[in-house]
Amino acid sequence: DIVMTQAPLSSPVTLGQPASISCRSSQSLVHSDGNTYLSWLQQRPGQPPRLLIYKISNRFSGVPDRFSGSGAGTDFTLRISRVEAEDVGVYYCMQTTQFPLTFGGGTKVEIK
Amino acid sequence: QLQLQESGPGLVKPSETLSLTCTVSGGSISGDSYYWGWIRQPPGKGPEWIGSFYYGESTSYNPSLKSRVTISADTSKNQFSLKLSSVTAADTAVYYCARHDRGYSGRYSVLSSDYWGQGTLVTVSS
Protein backbone atom coordinates (compact mmCIF):
# COMPACT_ATOMS: atom_id res chain seq x y z
CA ASP A 1 0.00 0.00 0.00
CA ILE A 2 1.11 3.58 -0.61
CA VAL A 3 1.47 5.45 2.67
CA MET A 4 0.58 9.15 2.62
CA THR A 5 2.18 11.39 5.26
CA GLN A 6 1.02 14.95 5.90
CA ALA A 7 2.60 17.84 7.79
CA PRO A 8 1.92 19.71 9.93
CA LEU A 9 -0.79 18.05 12.02
CA SER A 10 -2.20 21.47 12.83
CA SER A 11 -1.83 24.87 11.22
CA PRO A 12 -3.05 27.95 13.15
CA VAL A 13 -3.38 30.80 10.67
CA THR A 14 -4.36 34.46 10.88
CA LEU A 15 -7.29 35.44 8.67
CA GLY A 16 -6.06 36.79 5.35
CA GLN A 17 -2.67 35.09 5.69
CA PRO A 18 -1.45 32.14 3.61
CA ALA A 19 -1.35 28.51 4.69
CA SER A 20 0.61 25.61 3.30
CA ILE A 21 0.20 21.84 3.80
CA SER A 22 2.68 19.19 2.78
CA CYS A 23 1.95 15.63 1.67
CA ARG A 24 4.53 12.97 0.96
CA SER A 25 3.90 9.52 -0.52
CA SER A 26 5.93 6.38 0.25
CA GLN A 27 6.41 5.76 -3.48
CA SER A 28 6.00 7.68 -6.70
CA LEU A 29 2.41 8.52 -7.63
CA VAL A 30 3.16 8.61 -11.35
CA HIS A 31 0.68 6.25 -13.03
CA SER A 32 1.64 4.01 -15.96
CA ASP A 33 -0.28 6.46 -18.17
CA GLY A 34 2.14 9.24 -17.17
CA ASN A 35 -0.30 11.19 -15.01
CA THR A 36 -0.09 11.70 -11.23
CA TYR A 37 -3.30 11.11 -9.32
CA LEU A 38 -2.95 13.14 -6.16
CA SER A 39 -6.04 14.89 -4.79
CA TRP A 40 -6.73 17.26 -1.89
CA LEU A 41 -9.98 17.16 0.06
CA GLN A 42 -11.42 19.54 2.65
CA GLN A 43 -13.57 18.35 5.54
CA ARG A 44 -15.41 21.04 7.44
CA PRO A 45 -16.69 20.14 10.92
CA GLY A 46 -19.62 17.73 10.71
CA GLN A 47 -19.43 17.50 6.92
CA PRO A 48 -18.24 14.83 4.47
CA PRO A 49 -14.96 15.38 2.66
CA ARG A 50 -15.18 17.65 -0.37
CA LEU A 51 -12.88 17.47 -3.39
CA LEU A 52 -10.76 20.60 -3.86
CA ILE A 53 -7.89 19.61 -6.15
CA TYR A 54 -7.25 16.59 -8.42
CA LYS A 55 -4.24 15.52 -10.49
CA ILE A 56 -1.93 17.63 -8.30
CA SER A 57 -3.10 21.07 -9.40
CA ASN A 58 -6.55 21.01 -11.03
CA ARG A 59 -9.25 22.81 -9.07
CA PHE A 60 -12.59 20.99 -8.94
CA SER A 61 -15.74 22.79 -10.03
CA GLY A 62 -16.68 25.70 -7.74
CA VAL A 63 -13.43 25.71 -5.75
CA PRO A 64 -12.10 29.24 -5.11
CA ASP A 65 -8.85 30.16 -6.82
CA ARG A 66 -7.18 30.90 -3.47
CA PHE A 67 -6.63 27.13 -3.32
CA SER A 68 -3.74 25.78 -5.37
CA GLY A 69 -1.80 22.54 -5.57
CA SER A 70 1.70 21.73 -6.72
CA GLY A 71 4.32 19.01 -6.60
CA ALA A 72 5.54 15.94 -8.41
CA GLY A 73 6.58 12.35 -7.81
CA THR A 74 6.32 11.88 -4.04
CA ASP A 75 6.11 15.46 -2.69
CA PHE A 76 3.03 17.65 -2.92
CA THR A 77 1.75 20.90 -1.44
CA LEU A 78 -1.63 22.53 -0.97
CA ARG A 79 -1.59 26.30 -0.57
CA ILE A 80 -4.33 28.66 0.54
CA SER A 81 -3.30 32.15 -0.55
CA ARG A 82 -5.47 34.06 1.94
CA VAL A 83 -7.25 32.03 4.59
CA GLU A 84 -10.91 32.83 5.18
CA ALA A 85 -13.10 31.76 8.11
CA GLU A 86 -14.89 29.17 5.93
CA ASP A 87 -11.57 27.39 5.28
CA VAL A 88 -11.45 26.03 8.84
CA GLY A 89 -11.42 22.25 8.81
CA VAL A 90 -9.23 19.23 8.17
CA TYR A 91 -7.45 18.78 4.86
CA TYR A 92 -6.51 15.37 3.46
CA CYS A 93 -4.34 14.35 0.57
CA MET A 94 -5.44 11.22 -1.26
CA GLN A 95 -3.75 9.08 -3.90
CA THR A 96 -5.78 7.33 -6.58
CA THR A 97 -2.83 6.14 -8.66
CA GLN A 98 -3.25 2.58 -7.48
CA PHE A 99 -5.56 0.41 -5.39
CA PRO A 100 -5.90 0.43 -2.45
CA LEU A 101 -6.73 4.13 -2.51
CA THR A 102 -5.10 5.78 0.50
CA PHE A 103 -5.35 9.03 2.44
CA GLY A 104 -3.00 11.16 4.48
CA GLY A 105 -3.62 11.55 8.20
CA GLY A 106 -5.01 15.05 7.83
CA THR A 107 -3.97 18.61 8.69
CA LYS A 108 -6.24 20.77 10.79
CA VAL A 109 -6.46 24.40 9.70
CA GLU A 110 -7.68 26.72 12.42
CA ILE A 111 -7.82 30.45 12.96
CA LYS A 112 -5.41 32.03 15.46
CA GLN B 1 -27.16 17.44 -9.55
CA LEU B 2 -25.64 14.13 -8.42
CA GLN B 3 -26.64 13.00 -4.94
CA LEU B 4 -25.63 9.95 -2.93
CA GLN B 5 -27.47 8.89 0.22
CA GLU B 6 -26.41 6.16 2.62
CA SER B 7 -28.98 4.19 4.60
CA GLY B 8 -28.93 1.31 7.06
CA PRO B 9 -28.85 0.43 10.76
CA GLY B 10 -26.92 2.75 13.02
CA LEU B 11 -26.19 0.03 15.56
CA VAL B 12 -24.78 -3.43 14.86
CA LYS B 13 -23.84 -6.11 17.39
CA PRO B 14 -20.32 -7.55 17.50
CA SER B 15 -19.80 -10.59 15.24
CA GLU B 16 -22.83 -9.65 13.10
CA THR B 17 -22.90 -8.27 9.55
CA LEU B 18 -23.06 -4.56 8.81
CA SER B 19 -25.27 -3.79 5.79
CA LEU B 20 -25.58 -0.39 4.13
CA THR B 21 -27.14 0.86 0.91
CA CYS B 22 -26.24 3.88 -1.19
CA THR B 23 -29.00 5.37 -3.31
CA VAL B 24 -27.80 7.46 -6.25
CA SER B 25 -29.86 10.18 -7.90
CA GLY B 26 -28.92 12.47 -10.76
CA GLY B 27 -26.65 9.86 -12.34
CA SER B 28 -26.55 6.17 -13.24
CA ILE B 29 -24.31 3.61 -11.54
CA SER B 30 -24.27 1.63 -14.77
CA GLY B 31 -23.24 4.59 -16.87
CA ASP B 32 -19.83 5.31 -18.35
CA SER B 33 -16.81 6.87 -16.73
CA TYR B 34 -17.39 6.38 -13.02
CA TYR B 35 -16.42 4.00 -10.28
CA TRP B 36 -18.64 3.80 -7.19
CA GLY B 37 -17.41 2.88 -3.77
CA TRP B 38 -17.39 2.94 0.01
CA ILE B 39 -15.09 4.83 2.35
CA ARG B 40 -15.24 4.90 6.14
CA GLN B 41 -13.92 7.25 8.80
CA PRO B 42 -13.54 6.16 12.43
CA PRO B 43 -14.30 8.91 14.96
CA GLY B 44 -11.46 11.43 15.08
CA LYS B 45 -9.44 9.65 12.38
CA GLY B 46 -8.80 9.95 8.67
CA PRO B 47 -10.77 8.23 5.90
CA GLU B 48 -10.14 4.61 4.91
CA TRP B 49 -11.08 3.27 1.48
CA ILE B 50 -13.13 0.05 1.66
CA GLY B 51 -13.70 -0.86 -1.98
CA SER B 52 -15.00 0.30 -5.37
CA PHE B 53 -16.54 -1.09 -8.53
CA TYR B 54 -17.00 -0.12 -12.15
CA TYR B 55 -20.27 -1.56 -13.39
CA GLY B 56 -19.70 -4.65 -15.53
CA GLU B 57 -16.12 -5.09 -14.32
CA SER B 58 -14.51 -6.57 -11.22
CA THR B 59 -14.65 -4.93 -7.79
CA SER B 60 -11.51 -3.82 -5.96
CA TYR B 61 -11.30 -4.16 -2.19
CA ASN B 62 -8.93 -2.93 0.47
CA PRO B 63 -6.74 -5.96 1.32
CA SER B 64 -7.11 -5.16 5.02
CA LEU B 65 -10.89 -5.78 4.77
CA LYS B 66 -11.19 -8.00 1.71
CA SER B 67 -12.01 -11.23 3.56
CA ARG B 68 -15.04 -9.59 5.21
CA VAL B 69 -16.39 -7.21 2.54
CA THR B 70 -18.84 -7.55 -0.33
CA ILE B 71 -19.97 -4.66 -2.54
CA SER B 72 -22.84 -5.26 -4.93
CA ALA B 73 -25.00 -3.20 -7.28
CA ASP B 74 -28.71 -3.10 -8.10
CA THR B 75 -29.13 -1.14 -11.31
CA SER B 76 -32.93 -1.44 -11.26
CA LYS B 77 -32.94 0.74 -8.12
CA ASN B 78 -29.74 2.66 -8.97
CA GLN B 79 -28.29 1.54 -5.65
CA PHE B 80 -25.19 -0.21 -4.45
CA SER B 81 -24.61 -1.96 -1.16
CA LEU B 82 -21.93 -2.78 1.37
CA LYS B 83 -21.79 -5.86 3.56
CA LEU B 84 -19.09 -6.17 6.22
CA SER B 85 -19.14 -9.39 8.21
CA SER B 86 -17.89 -10.33 11.67
CA VAL B 87 -17.78 -6.74 12.87
CA THR B 88 -16.00 -5.56 16.01
CA ALA B 89 -15.79 -2.24 17.81
CA ALA B 90 -12.95 -1.30 15.45
CA ASP B 91 -15.51 -1.12 12.63
CA THR B 92 -17.33 1.74 14.34
CA ALA B 93 -17.15 4.63 11.88
CA VAL B 94 -18.99 7.03 9.64
CA TYR B 95 -19.52 5.17 6.37
CA TYR B 96 -19.61 7.18 3.14
CA CYS B 97 -20.52 6.16 -0.36
CA ALA B 98 -18.69 8.04 -3.08
CA ARG B 99 -18.21 8.39 -6.81
CA HIS B 100 -14.78 8.19 -8.37
CA ASP B 101 -14.13 9.80 -11.72
CA ARG B 102 -12.58 7.34 -14.19
CA GLY B 103 -10.10 8.49 -16.79
CA TYR B 104 -8.36 6.97 -19.77
CA SER B 105 -4.98 8.00 -21.15
CA GLY B 106 -3.93 4.74 -22.70
CA ARG B 107 -4.70 2.97 -19.41
CA TYR B 108 -7.72 3.30 -17.13
CA SER B 109 -7.27 5.33 -13.95
CA VAL B 110 -9.14 6.79 -10.99
CA LEU B 111 -8.94 10.56 -11.34
CA SER B 112 -10.45 11.51 -8.00
CA SER B 113 -13.31 10.96 -5.53
CA ASP B 114 -15.51 13.80 -6.70
CA TYR B 115 -18.87 13.26 -4.97
CA TRP B 116 -19.57 11.90 -1.50
CA GLY B 117 -22.73 11.11 0.42
CA GLN B 118 -23.39 12.79 3.76
CA GLY B 119 -22.30 9.66 5.61
CA THR B 120 -23.96 7.45 8.18
CA LEU B 121 -22.57 6.59 11.61
CA VAL B 122 -22.49 2.89 12.38
CA THR B 123 -21.70 1.89 15.94
CA VAL B 124 -20.72 -1.67 16.79
CA SER B 125 -21.83 -2.46 20.32
CA SER B 126 -23.79 -5.06 22.21
| Residue A63 Cα distances to A14, A19, A52, A57, angstroms | 21, 16, 6, 12
What pLDDT shows up at residue B106?
84
- The reply to whether residue A1 touches residue B52, judged by beta carbons under 8 angstroms, is no
The average confidence (pLDDT) of chain B is 96
Which residue in the set B49, B61, B119 is minimally distant from A102, CB to CB? B49
What pLDDT shows up at residue A34?
93
**3-class DSSP state for residue B88?**
coil
- Cα separation, B106 vs B26, in Å, equals 29
Q: In terms of DSSP bridges, do strands B59-61 and B79-84 run parallel, antiparallel, or are they unpaired?
A: unpaired
Tally C-beta pairs within 8 A across A and B: 76
- The reply to whether residue A37 touches residue B110, judged by beta carbons under 8 angstroms, is yes
The average confidence (pLDDT) of chain A is 97
Residue A29 has pLDDT above 90, yes or no: yes
CB B122 within 8 A of CB B93: yes
Q: For residue B61, which residues of chain A lie inside 8 Å, CB to CB? A: 100
Residue B53 has pLDDT above 90, yes or no: yes
CB A22 within 8 A of CB A69: no
DSSP A36: B
- The reply to whether residue B49 touches residue A33, judged by beta carbons under 8 angstroms, is no
What pLDDT shows up at residue B95?
98
Position B107 confidence tier, pLDDT thresholds 50, 70, 90: confident
CB atoms within 10 A of CB A55: 17
Q: For residue A31, which residues of chain B lie inside 8 Å, CB to CB? A: 107, 109
Position A102 confidence tier, pLDDT thresholds 50, 70, 90: very high
Position B31 confidence tier, pLDDT thresholds 50, 70, 90: confident
What pLDDT shows up at residue B104?
87
Residue A30 has pLDDT above 90, yes or no: yes
